[in-house]
Structure 1
Amino acid sequence: MGEAKLKHPFFVIIGPSGSGKTRVAEAVFPKEYKVVSHTTRPIRTGEQDGTDYYFETKERFDYLVNTKSLAEYDTYHGYHYGVGIAELMNRTKNHSAYDVLTINGFQEIQNQFGSMVIPIFLEVSKKNVLSRLKIREVNEEVINARGALYDQESTNKNTVMNYPHHYIIDANQPFEEVVKDVKQAVTEVMQLKLG
């Protein structure tokens, strides 16, 4: 663990593609609590640079990696994603913060910052994942690829359970119930006074 310490908990939302991670996180946390990640993927309609992501060129992303400015970075669907150390420290200065990350991203940050990094795993059935993906995605290839990822991503629950402060949330419930359960987990952590 490095010498940098987080002043407030950093919640990492993890789960299979289609488990509702982003939607749930945005319903639980205020907008300004989001740790904005860097990515090389193209900006989508309606997204804003600096709000949804910091949209980077491949060269700029490589520079962030080479200067050790990222707490973690990963490749997903051919694009690079990473969490900046300065962004993470800044967002957790006055209150807790959150981000939606892969299991590897969570582990990298947890290795550096320890018990202040809290994983919340959204557990969902493959049937629900596939039906949700069909609603938001028209490309059959993408649906099949993400469906194939499900088996691998759902086993991450076992990894999350190895951490002392972790939460497994049943994301098969109605959306409002999932949000309520995640809020309850956040409240419990805030009462623990970790660190």
Structure 2
Amino acid sequence: MQPPSTRPRVTVLAGPTSVGKSTLSRHIRTHYPQVHFSVSATTRPPRPGEHDGVDYHFISPERFDELIKAEAFLEWATVHGRHRYGTLRSTVEQALTEGKHVLLEIDLQGARQVRQRMPEAQFVFLAPPSFEDLVARLTHRGTEDEEERRRRLETAKIELQAESEFDVTIINDDVDRAARELLARMGLDVTNADPATT
């Protein structure tokens, strides 16, 4: 296996539902500020306390349409049949120009779009220690009813089959360990970093 490149590039993190992508991303945001997270564009209105350009780029549906036609997105999708979200190519390329390591935490559909538009990116699949562990995580969350849990588990089975599409798999058995492995894959030296004091 070749060592990971230290040249800043885009790393795409995806995986099945409930595997812990958001938890891992929050951990990295909190403890490793040297990682750049792209700010997504969305057609939904700001929620209280959200700021344009910080939480999201809030744009009109008409402007979103214009950006799609201009092929300005690395990936985009309609979420819950209502508002659209997308990763702007310009914000990612600007971060790379500034020498930053960019991490995109997106779903499988988004990862496939980025693969088409930016094949030089690194694609990381976040996997559970076992399918039983994934079932336990989803069941113990208590945020969905039985029908929703069943639907998510069926989706997860399909998503797990996409693992072979990715460059590398990281097992999310411990958040700090998984974060360090991901950052090492991104070419960041965190061997001596103490996340508690970073």
**Bigger-Rg structure (1/2):** 2
Sequence identity percentage: 22
- RMSD over aligned Cα atoms: 2.6
- Number of equivalent positions: 173
Task: Give CA deviations for 1:105-127 in whole Å, capped at 9, x if unaligned.
Answer: 11111222224232232435123
Match of 1:127?
136
Whether the 8 Å contact between 1:15 and 1:154 is mirrored in structure 2 is no
Work out which of the residue numbers 70, 87, 92 in structure 1 matches 2:91: 87
Give the CA deviation at 1:62: 1.1
Distance 2:150 2:66 in 1: 33
Whether the 8 Å contact between 1:18 and 1:130 is mirrored in structure 2 is no
Task: Give CA deviations for 1:121-166 in whole Å, capped at 9, x if unaligned.
Answer: 24351231232252xxxxx57x854651332144323323233x22
Whether the 8 Å contact between 2:35 and 2:103 is mirrored in structure 1 is no
Match of 1:161?
164
Structure 1 runs not aligned, ≥5 long: 1-6, 135-139
Structure 2 runs not aligned, ≥5 long: 1-6, 189-198
Distance 1:17 1:107 in 2: 16
Match of 1:183?
180
Work out which of the residue numbers 30, 53, 57 in structure 2 matches 1:54: 57
Distance 2:49 2:116 in 1: 34
Distance 1:84 1:96 in 2: 16
Work out which of the residue numbers 104, 107, 126 in structure 1 matches 2:112: 107
SS in 2 for 1:50: coil
Residues 158 and 34 (structure 1), Cα distance of their counterparts in 2 relative to 1, 3 Å cut: same
Task: Give CA deviations for 1:9-65 in whole Å, capped at 9, x if unaligned.
Answer: 222222344433223112124276011111123433443321222122211211111
